[in-house]
Structure 1
Amino acid sequence: MERSVIARRLGSTPYQRGSRQEFSCPDIFELADGRFAVIGTDMTAELSAHLPPDAGVADYERIVVITRDTMLHAKRDIPDA
């Protein structure tokens, strides 16, 4: 397996989406090994009790929330397969 290296950003930069603090905004990246990394707000404590019965969060996982705008800007860069 390849190392977890960021290959590219999906969508616009936070600055292009209107942020004036580019270092502290949601972002989505594709890793060299095909996985995705998300920078967002950790909402695990608030949302884990509201997950559907067939979903769960492992000790090493977090529920991360990003803005709708971040996802919509990334949509064009998300591969179909």
Structure 2
Amino acid sequence: MSGENCPDILELSDGSFAIIGTDRTDELDGKLPSDASRADYERIVVITRETLLRAKRDIPDA
């Protein structure tokens, strides 16, 4: 809303969350831990620690 262009976390009307960040799938795909995976339609998106911490207050506990 401020017109700034930066990472963000948005809650969608269905309760899901959308992440606006940097697509780093090509760089990080082969570096995922052995217990992590992604589907072909999923991307690895990176946001800053600051973005996640600021969003924390807006994420419900349940």
Task: Give the drift of 1:61.
Answer: 0.4
Q: Distance in 2 between matches of 1:25 and 1:48?
A: 23
In structure 2, the residue matched to 1:25 is 6
Q: 1:62 aligns with which of 29, 43, 50?
A: 43
What RMSD in Å do the two structures reach over aligned CA positions?
1.5
Q: How many residues align?
A: 62
In structure 2, the residue matched to 1:51 is 32
Structure 1: segments with no counterpart, 5+ residues: 1-12, 16-20
> Does 1:42 find its partner at 2:23?
yes
Task: Give the drift of 1:54.
Answer: 2.1
After TM superposition, what 4+ stretches of structure 1 lie above 2 angstroms from structure 2?
none
Q: TM-score, normalised by structure 1?
A: 0.69
Larger radius of gyration: 1
Q: 1:73 aligns with which of 25, 31, 54?
A: 54
